Amino acid sequence: MQLKLRKIVAFVGVWSCAAFAQTTLHTTTTLVFVPTLVQTPDKDLVFSLRAEDFVLTDNGVQQRVTLEEQAKRPLSLVVLMQTGGDARGQFPSYAHLDTMIAELLGEAPNEVSIVNFDSQPEAASPFTTNVAEWGDAIDHPEAGDRGAATFDSLEYGLDLLRKRPAGNRHAILLLSQEHDVGSKMPLKEVLRELGETNTAIYSVTFSAEKTAARQAFKDPGSLNKPLHVGEGDYQAYFNLSEPLRLILGAMSKNTSAEVATLSGGEWSSFDNAQELAQDLGGLTSHLHNSYVLSFTPTSSEPGLHTIKVRLAHHPELLVSARSNYWASEPSIQK
């Protein structure tokens, strides 16, 4: 789920008696937005709940909750599409991706920007309310280099969203493999920026190992250098380094899913066009049928805050909401 954090900056002038220098203290009053999905055990959506039905705590302290009207807050969406690394093996799954993104985006004034990435993010398309403007580029991307710099691309997407209207909902749709390859931005910094900019990540991933193995049967093989065994030379058609890479990759964490979960978004995986359509269809329903809770924290303590949301009188229902946000420290400038 998403959580929106709107900052109102106050400027307080403080005079030092010793130096008579003017100092500006920057503090923040934070309104935290927590989109929340409620479902039955059979995964049916639950409607008609009111603010008093929700119990929300911030670092264990119950907060006063307001139920926002989601329709009054347009969506700014950045779509990050991996085109590098093993992504080309999934390009056939993108055949009607523009239509799926249009359904996810909804009607104007909701807006979207498309960013392809390999070892680095490419220049973003201008934000538009009409996905069809970029339909061919979305459905038929060009293959990039061998990189998959997911973290660097997330930081790039967050920077794009910082420049959108503050009252908008902010979200990123990440279409990528499960593991980051080649980013300079550490995961810790990405998570901190997610908390500060209040953006939800919706991650739809493919297995790079499965995709690479499938693609290997389609690509022409190459011979390795001869092996010297006894008195003869034997030409080898296998590459031991590639299976090792695939095994190590499979043992790694699904970092794209981890980022989505920590941001309050959702994640799913696909291996073909049909599964991708199903995943994005479910995501579209959840994104547009969430409750949006808001509260003003009673604590101004900087750092990571833990959020928990439950229902007061319906323990049988399933509640999915963001689990944290990041409160910035006040800064002093002279």
Domains of the chain, first to last: 71-210+253-288 (3.40.50.410)
Return the pLDDT at 258: 80
Q: Pairing relation of β-strands 61-62 and 54-58?
A: antiparallel
Question: Which one, of 274, 281, 279, 272, lies nearest residue 90 by Cα?
Answer: 272
Rounded Cα–Cα distance for residues 59 and 314 (Å): 22
Torsion, Cα of 183, 84, 159, 4 (10° steps): -100
Rounded Cα–Cα distance for residues 215 and 14 (Å): 64
Write the DSSP symbol of residue 17: T
Residue pLDDT, tens place only, 230-245: 455 444 444 444 444 4
Residue pLDDT, tens place only, 198-226: 788 999 999 865 544 444 444 455 444 55
Residue 297: is the preceding peptide bond cis (ω within 30°)? no
Q: What percent of the chain has pLDDT above 70?
A: 76
pTM to 2 decimal places: 0.76
Tokens of residue 206, six digits: 């493919």
Rounded Cα–Cα distance for residues 155 and 143 (Å): 22
Return the pLDDT at 163: 94
